[in-house]
Amino acid sequence: MMRAFLVVMDSVGIGGAPDAGAFFNAGRPDTGANTLGHIAMACAEGRAEDRRSGPLAVPNLDRLGLFHALHLASGLAPSGHEPAATTGRWGAATEISPGKDTPSGHWELAGLPVPWDWTYFPDTVPAFPDDLVAKVCEIAGVDGILGNCHGSGTVMIEQFGEEHLKTGRPICYTSADSVFQIAAHEEAFGLDRLLTLCQTLAPHLHTMRVGRVIARPFVGQPGGFTRTTNRHDYAIRPPAPVLTNWVQDAGRRVYAVGKIGDIFSMTGIDEVRKGDDATLMRHLADLVDTAEDGSLIFANFVEFDSLYGHRRNIAGYARHLEWFDAELGRLLARLRAGDMLLLTADHGNDPSWSGTDHTRERVPVLVAGLGAGCLGLVAFTDVAASIAAHLGVPAQGPGHSFL
């Protein structure tokens, strides 16, 4: 029996979204944003030389068709990158959900376009309504919150961390995504207390159609705060069965690697493995060796997005792509006959773009283990339909298999 590995390279977009002009970063439309394309161009032009050098070196992704997919999606062919002869099947997927965020992208890849408009908080100070702030204070037992604005998580803890330690008030902030994030010190505030706060608050925000409440614990002292790996997302539950349910309902096992369990509120998932991207790669390698026949392994590698895209760090993003590519080469060599490994992304986050938010882009679809050739332009939902077809389980979504 065959296995399927669905691996999301979080935010590795390839430009060309037909509706990019309807999405904005710092007041600028996302038209022309291209995460992979602009990173490759910067590398070729010598503008990404921090702890790496030269053109973007991703030979394994290249052979699977990454640069062919880039050209298909956006027409871009960066100098210094003549695409390799392909050993995989490649294409580009277009999203229809009305958001460029993590739940929208993952739900649609799993066969369910988001059936509503998310609630977003305004980019004002304060950003949150008074009744929501009062609810946070009531649950946490505090007399106020810090932040109450849009911001990057690392900036928020640098700006408000010292005051948080003095007052005990949680740091609450949001972004262009439909999200409410709460940062608190693991020791001074307490990790369990933070998680309980977020878990208790989440149903209230979910009724508002806010997609996620995220616990963002950190440690350290003023001038040296760092976020920990104990982040937890309390996401709204998908309102209909998704790929994980289809596979589990067919009696197969579903493994979630990274934040997949959080994104889907554990629906249809048997086992979760977490950690930073290096740890997640070890988990994925272990599952390549040990996962049962017929199983689905659904993984997300978040650090492209969280460490480099939002922070607009082109060289760091390039380094992470090159690290991931080297690890991928070792994984590909260990796949079993009949395995399918499908690489894709959930949105873009162009580190050369204005602002700090995600960018609306098409995403690559690269398939290893099932021959070579062009898949063309496909839908996000076609990913779920194709994996279901490979595993021989009934698909319940609107997608069509491209296998």
Cα–Cα distance, 381 to 383 (Å, whole number): 5
Residue 225 vs residues 36, 277, 403: alpha-carbon distances, Å:
30, 20, 48
Residue (of 187, 257, 246) closest to 6 by Cα position: 257
Give phi and psi for 342, each to the nearest 5.
-115, 120
CB 148 within 8 A of CB 128: yes
Residues with Cβ within 8 Å of 91's Cβ and at least 6 positions away in sequence, in order, are 65, 69, 72, 364, 365, 374, 375, 376, 377, 378, 402
Residue (of 85, 53, 83) closest to 70 by Cα position: 83
CB crowding 216-232: b at 16 or more within 10 Å, else e = bbbbbeeeebebeeebb
The answer to the question of whether 357 is labelled as a binding residue is no
Give phi and psi for 241, each to the nearest 5.
-60, 145
The answer to the question of whether 117 is labelled as a binding residue is no
Q: 3-class secondary structure for 181-245?
A: EEEEEHHHHHHHHHHHHHHHHHHHHHHCCCCEEEEEEEECCCCCCEECCCCEEEECCCCCCCHHH
Give phi and psi for 98, each to the nearest 5.
-85, 50
Residue 23 vs residues 12, 93, 196, 361, 372: alpha-carbon distances, Å:
17, 18, 34, 10, 34
Residue 370 vs residues 88, 95, 150, 293, 373: alpha-carbon distances, Å:
7, 24, 44, 17, 10
The answer to the question of whether 358 is labelled as a binding residue is yes
CB 403 within 8 A of CB 375: no
The answer to the question of whether 10 is labelled as a binding residue is yes
Burial of 239 (0-12, 13-18, 19+ CB in 10 A): exposed
Query: 3-state DSSP call for residue 100?
Result: coil
The answer to the question of whether 390 is labelled as a binding residue is no
Residues with Cβ within 8 Å of 331's Cβ and at least 6 positions away in sequence, in order, are 284, 285, 288, 341
What residue numbers does the annotated binding site cover?
10, 305, 310, 346-347, 358
What residue numbers does the annotated binding site for Mn(2+) cover?
10, 305, 310, 346-347, 358
